[in-house]
Amino acid sequence: MAITATMVKDLREQTGAGMMDCKNALVEAEGCMDKAVDILREKGIAKAGKKADRVASEGIVRIAFSDSMDKASIIEVNSETDFVAKNQEFVDFVEALAEKVLELEENDPKAFFEMSLGEETVKEALVSKIAKIGENLSIRRFEKKGESGVVYHGYVHGNGKIGVLVGLRTDGDKEETRVLGKDLAMQIASMNPKFIKEEDVDKEYLDHEKKVLTQQALNEGKSPEMADKIALGKLKKEIKDICLLEQKFVKDQDLTVKQYVEESAKALGKDISVVSMMRYEAGEGIEKKEEDFLEEVMKQIKE
């Protein structure tokens, strides 16, 4: 397979590795981007297979709750510019959409766009708002949560750049769990865990990470036995970073999140368990279109 300059550029953006390292990795991986990322990680050239500088689209995240907080919703709506994302009319529109998501029976996009919003459907209201604001707007994703016996709490950070929902299974009501719920939502917003507890971590993910970390140690000259031990040690540390309950509690580093939840439950006198979490970051994973301002001006002059 021919390795193109675009492929090299994309891999470099994902890993931060040098251009020739990226090209060589792609050649070795026969053009497979994921395999090339692993090769760079194994060689210690790329520390992680994360995409860099690809969060691009502007927009905001909003959350909404039923009165008893036994139902909750989260939605992300994108705009072309940060200016529009901060516009109060746009903010009000997104908040109204979050409330509409609460009315859904199922998380069905088609049903959502056909719901009424004032005198229009959601779809018609979106088109009208695009025409009025003068920018392309996109309802990117949304979800409603409403599991029986669960109380929901949330947190919105940075005027809507990050939104979080967390579900607590408990006999406690919304007021009794408010402080704990907000603390957990803020933890999720800041530390971005991928799983709630260690048992939730996908076995395929663990096997893949162990393979990469073992090869990395082998490439550093470690014996197979030592490489395996090193990989297991790093994997154990990684699990503490990606699992909410295993993380250090940001407001008290002497506690893990699990210990904080247990202490809160004991103080309340009621069982509490974290059963769900959602974290939306506006524009995550969307590549920003970079404009050459001078080129754009010259293009308009010519036209």
- For 221-251, what is each residue's pLDDT tens digit? 888 889 888 988 888 888 888 999 999 999 9
**Domain co-membership, 37 together with 62:** no
Sign of the C-alpha dihedral computed for residues 143, 147, 150 and 151 taken in this order:
positive
* Residue 302, in any domain of the structure: no
Distance of CA 165 to the CA centre of its chain: 12
Query: Mean pLDDT, to the nearest integer, of 142-157?
Result: 97
The token pair at 191 is: 């530390």
What per-residue confidence (pLDDT) applies to 202?
A: 84
CB 131 within 8 A of CB 139: no
Q: How many domains does the chain have?
A: 2
Point out the domain boundary residue: 11, 39, 54. 54
pLDDT of residue 53: 37
> Taking a C-beta distance cutoff of 8 angstroms, is the pair 281, 162 a contact?
yes
The pLDDT confidence band at residue 56, using thresholds 50, 70 and 90, is: very low
pTM: 0.73
Q: What is the largest CA-CA distance in the chain?
A: 73
Residues 63 and 168 in one domain: yes
Of 41-50, 78-87, 174-183, least confident by mean pLDDT is 41-50
Instruction: Look at residue 301 in the predicted model and tell me its pLDDT.
Output: 52
Q: Which one is predicted more confidently, 297 or 21? A: 21
In a domain? residue 299: no
Tell me 194's DSSP state.
Answer: S
Residues 46 and 189 in one domain: no
Whether residue 284 has pLDDT greater than 50: yes
| Contact indicator for 58, 235 with CB cutoff of 8 Å | no
DSSP annotation of 144: E
Together in a domain, 75 and 160? yes
Residues 170 and 151 in one domain: yes
Give me the percent of the chain exceeding a pLDDT of 90. 55
**Whether 165 contacts 145, CB under 8 Å:** yes
| Owning domain of residue 15 | 1-54
| Residue located via tokens 């006198």 | 269
Quick one: 26 and 110 in the same domain? Answer: no
pLDDT mean over 205-227: 89
Q: Give the separation between CA 61 and CA 65, rounded to whole angstroms.
A: 14
Q: Are residues 146 and 69 in the same domain?
A: yes
The pLDDT, as a whole number, for residue 257 is 97
Q: Residue for token digits 């990050």?
A: 162
Give the confidence band of 54 by pLDDT, cuts at 50, 70, 90: very low
Q: Cβ(166)–Cβ(188) under 8 Å?
A: yes
Strand ranges across the sheet with 150-157: 150-157, 162-170, 272-281
| pLDDT for the residue 283 | 87
Final residue in a domain of this structure, among 11, 27, 54? 54
33-42 helix and 19-28 helix, angle to the nearest 10 degrees = 120
Task: Give the pLDDT score at 299.
Answer: 52
CA distance 234 to 71: 38
Mean pLDDT (the chain) is 87
| pLDDT value for 55 | 34
Measured in residues, the chain has a length of 303
- The predicted model gives 260-279 an average pLDDT of 97
| Averaged pLDDT for residues 157-182 | 96
Q: What is the pLDDT of residue 42?
A: 80
CA atoms within 13 A of residue 170's CA, in its CB half-sphere: 29
| Higher local confidence (pLDDT), 17 or 150 | 150
Give the three-class secondary structure for 154.
strand
Distance CA 82, CA 50 (A): 24
Task: Write out the E strands in 171-250.
Answer: 248-249
- 79: domain CATH number is 3.30.479.20
**pLDDT band with cut points at 50, 70 and 90 for residue 49:** very low
Q: Using the predicted structure, report yes or no on whether residue 294 has a pLDDT greater than 80.
A: no
- Asked whether residue 276 is domain-assigned, the answer is yes
